[in-house]
Structure formats: structure tokens, C-alpha cells
Structure 1
Amino acid sequence: MATDDDGDRARGRTGSRDASVQTVEKTLAILEHVAHRGGATARDVSEALGYPLPTAYRLMQALVQSDYLVHLRAEHRFELGYKLDRLGLSLHRQVGVPRPVRQEVARLHEQADAAAYFAVYRGADVVVAHVVDSPARPRLTPLSFGFHEAAHATAFGKIMLAGMTPESVDQYLDVHGMHRLTDSTMTSRDELDAHLAMVAQRGIAWEHEEFVPGMTCAAAGVRNQAGMIVGAVAISAPSESVDAARERRLAHQLRDASNQVSRYYRSGRVRGTAA
């Protein structure tokens, strides 16, 4: 038979768990703030995040002890610690883009004269895993390693959504939504479904200023041995530079790159070279 003491202990355990979760959330918020600001004092963090100054300082010192922050005492400020770099390297290894695939993306960048991307599934997300660009042909902001949003508005996202089952698309959009990013972004599910059907038929996904104004992107799917889309190669270029003739060239170059990367995932080889 439950007693009042049992209830108090249960509430105590729940309260302790809630406090622990709040501490983790505060700690992560501090890391993000320091990263975004390029460094910060405890007072900066206290004022920006609304934490009491002693709490901010205590959590930041704990992060220093764990090597996630460093304390520059002479400057009375904190900056990111070295363990974060090791975590970043581990993340890159886990996503793991093989060298032959990176070479194909670099080849696409050169041939298309455009920033080139490789995206993969990671769990339920569509994630940018590799980017090759140059000062003359820079990547789109924020399409860097780890970007995993707005599949409905990106070319690589569309080609990968087109390869999903309707149930998987439902699940993805239930989580991520269809937010309007530009005046051209599709926000109607019916419109997106019709577009994805066309993408699946053509094998190339185009995105005209739906993600970033003034920019056009295109993508082709990468397939595994079972013929299922497991990734995508993509390019981005200023819309004014993409006329009908260049669209045809880009489509050909994307198909060539996707065929080679697909070949790697089927056999471990690209263009006759061992992985």
C-alpha cells in the first residue's frame, strides 16, 4: 500500500531528474553561446541567457574541468576547449565519406564550375556530409557539413524525399515541417507531392530560388545495390548563370557523378579505380 512518504520520494526523484535535465540544457546553451560569440565572460553568459552569475560561472568552470571550455584568465573570458575538436573529428569519421566519393564530388565541382555537395541519410535526417567549393564558387550558406534541415526546399533533399515511401515522407515532414524560406518555397503538401513524383520520373531534382534567393540547385540520387536511393550529389550556382543549355550540361554532369558514386556503393570502385 502506497504511503505519503512513497509519493514524496517519487516526487523527489522526478524533481531531481528535472533539475538534471535543466542543468544539461543550461550547459549546452552556454557552449552554443560561447561558440557563437567566439568567446564570452561569465557575465556575458549570465546576461544573455538569464542565468544567475554564480550559476553561469559554476557551469563554465565545470566545462573547463571537462576540457570543453578553456579559461583565459588574463582576459577574464572563456573560449571553446580542445575536446570539442576531437568530438568533431569523431563525428566526421562516423558520417564517413570515403575518399573515392570525395574525389567524385571534387570532380563534379570542377566540371560543373559550381559548388558541389554530397548528402546522405543519417537516421531519419537528410544530412550534408561533404562539400567542395572555392572562392569563385562558394557553397550556399548554411550548406556546410552537418546541415540537416529544409529537405523540401533543397535539391538534394527533394531527390532523397522522392526516393522515400509516402509513409517515410509523412514522418519526415511531421518532424521538420515545410517552412517558407523564400517567396518560391513550396509549402503545400499537394504541390510537393506532385513535384516529387516528377523528380522520381526524371531522376534530377531542380530547386530554383526556393532555398536561397538568386540561387539555383540541382541534384541526382545515389543508389545502393538494391537500387534504393541512399544519398545525393548536388550543385548550386547563381540563377542568372543557369540558362537552358547549362541546365542540360549540369543534368548530364550530375548523372555522371551519381552513377560513379552509386558504382562505388555497389562495388567499391569508381571509374575503374579500386577504393
Structure 2
Amino acid sequence: MPTLIGSVQRALRLLEAAGAHRDGAPAKQLAREAGLPLPTAYHLLRTLTHEGYLRRESGVFLLGEAAGRLADGGRQQKRRSMVRDSLDALREAVGAPVYFAVYRAGEIEVLGVSDSPDTPAVREWADFRATAHSHAVGRCLLGQLDESSRRDHYDRHPVGALTPYTVRDLRALEERIARDARHGPVIERQEYALGTVCAALPLVAGEDPAAVAISLPVGQEDRLLSVVERLRSEVGALLSTLSISISI
């Protein structure tokens, strides 16, 4: 195991050395900068090139596609961490679970949920993607689509009752979406999950429709509007962070 770890460490030093040279560098220079004997460097450079982490052109080594994928993965992980931190800050500020979702490639994607033992999130007992008509996040996202895009969504995910309070037909749903657009925020009362009320706000972030939402137990419904107004005031400062996640 120590030998394997040492090999990985030496390979990483070579990758770091190669990454420092935009136009590439020869093996001898990389070996010197990585502090490695030349035979060891040659062996590792051949392996890294074979695996796609490096490529050799005109006698010099440059970062390859596999190294680029590693970098992209690191950036995505950093973005996700930023979103989690932002949602946690919102949850602390409003005292309720916070949800962040986008509508991308014809489907709803919940990109982040922040809750706690004292403020548990709604359990996804029916696929959020297929039940957009029944919850605040979904209606908020559907309301940001044009009529043709909504019709396409309904063709793939028909309206159906999940609870006694769920909107019953497409006409009634469209009327609610029109009313949401005029008055906002989007409010949902026990339509997705009995015992829960929710509210969602549209976000102007990136190219995809986005929404941020909160949920409360139905016994705390009298807090709903004040909580969502607090959410509205807090989320503006975090929009730049949340918009990053659109590209995740």
C-alpha cells in the first residue's frame, strides 16, 4: 500500500508540473520540477499518457482529456457545495425547509434541499418530475414555460389527483397558473402531501426556469406568507450563488 500511495503522489506531482505549462514541457523538465528521477518520470509519463491524463505532442507533454474531466468534476463539486451552503443559510434565516429546482430538458430537477431535524423536508413519496401540477415548485416552474412547452409537459405527465385537495383537471390547473402569475407567490395546500403547505418563488437565474420554495406543517399555515416574504428578501443576496447551479 505505501508503494501504491507513493506512486499516486509522484504521478500527481507530474500532472501538476505539466499543468503549469500551457504549451507543454519535455520529460526532463517535468521530472526536475516534480523532483523525480528521470527513469521514474518516464515510466509514470507513459502510464499517464496511456490513460489519457497527458498527451504527447512534438516531444512535450500536455494535460489530456481525462485530466480535464477531473478538473470539471472538481468545479462541479465546488458549485454543489456553494449551493448547499446557500440553501442552509436560507433555511436558518426563514426557519423552514428550503428547496431549489430548475426545469431543464423537459423535466423538473430538484438540485438542492436543506432541512433539519426541527424543520424536516417533505418526503418525495410520488416522483416530483411526474407530479409538477400538485406541488408549489412544479407549478412555479410550469408557470415560467410558454404554452407549447407546458402542453408538451402535460402530454408526458398527465394531471392526476394525489390527495383530495389536488387540482383535478388541466383547465383548473391552467387557471391556477394564470392566477399565480398575476398574484404570486405560488401557494399549495396539501395537494402533494397531506399535512403540508408550501410556497414557491420564481428565480431569474441563467437560461433555465428556476424556483426556490419552502414548506411548513399545515398547523403552521398562518406563518406561510410571512416565511415566504422573508425568503423573498433573503434570496436576492444569494441569487449569484444559486445561478451557478443552473449549469451543474
Where does the alignment leave 5 or more consecutive residues of structure 2 unmatched? 1-71
1:261 shift after superposition:
4.2
For the Cα contact (< 8 Å) 1:105–1:233, is it kept in 2?
no
Distance 1:147 1:99 in 2: 23
1:196 shift after superposition:
0.7
Could you say which residue in structure 1 is the equivalent of 2:229?
A: 252
Q: Output the amino acid matched with 2:88.
A: A
Higher relative contact order by CA 8 Å / sep ≥ 6: 1 or 2? 2
Moved over 6 A (4+): 93-96
1:188 shift after superposition:
1.5
Quick check: 135-144 or 204-213, which moved more? 135-144
Could you say which residue in structure 1 is the equivalent of 2:112?
A: 130
Task: For residues 211-253 of structure 1, give each alpha carbon's deviation from its aligned partner in whole angstroms, at most 9, with x where no partner exists.
Answer: 001100111111136xx7621111111011121xx23312212
* % identity of equivalent residues: 30
Q: Output the amino acid matched with 1:251.
A: V
Q: Per the alignment, in what secondary structure is the counterpart of residue 149 of structure 1? A: helix
Q: Output the amino acid matched with 1:136.
A: D
Distance 1:130 1:190 in 2: 31
For the Cα contact (< 8 Å) 1:119–1:126, is it kept in 2?
yes
Q: Per the alignment, in what secondary structure is the counterpart of residue 148 of structure 2? A: helix
User: Would you say how many aligned residue pairs link Structure 1 and Structure 2?
Assistant: 173
Distance 2:155 2:191 in 1: 20
Which runs of structure 2 are paired with 1:124-203 in the superposition (5 Å)? 124-142=106-124, 147-203=128-184
Distance 1:231 1:95 in 2: 20
Q: Per the alignment, in what secondary structure is the counterpart of residue 235 of structure 1? A: strand
Could you say which residue in structure 1 is the equivalent of 2:201?
A: 220
Could you say which residue in structure 2 is the equivalent of 1:69?
A: none
Structure 1 pair 165–128 and aligned structure 2 pair: CA distance change class (3 A): same
1:147 shift after superposition:
4.4
For the Cα contact (< 8 Å) 2:86–2:241, is it kept in 1?
no
Could you say which residue in structure 1 is the equivalent of 2:221?
A: 242
Could you say which residue in structure 2 is the equivalent of 1:35?
A: none
Structure 1 pair 115–265 and aligned structure 2 pair: CA distance change class (3 A): closer
Max Rg structure: 2
Task: For residues 48-86 of structure 1, give each alpha carbon's deviation from its aligned partner in whole angstroms, at most 9, with x where no partner exists.
Answer: xxxxxxxxxxxxxxxxxxxxxxxxxxxxxxxxxxxxxxx
Quick check: 249-258 or 167-176, which moved more? 249-258
Q: Output the amino acid matched with 1:256.
A: S
Could you say which residue in structure 2 is the equivalent of 1:231?
A: 210
1:161 shift after superposition:
0.6
Distance 1:143 1:127 in 2: 16
TM-score w.r.t. length of structure 2: 0.61
Could you say which residue in structure 2 is the equivalent of 1:208?
A: 189
1:132 shift after superposition:
0.8
Matched, 1:120 2:99: no
Distance 1:97 1:208 in 2: 32
Distance 1:260 1:139 in 2: 23
Structure 1 pair 176–119 and aligned structure 2 pair: CA distance change class (3 A): same
Could you say which residue in structure 2 is the equivalent of 1:19?
A: none
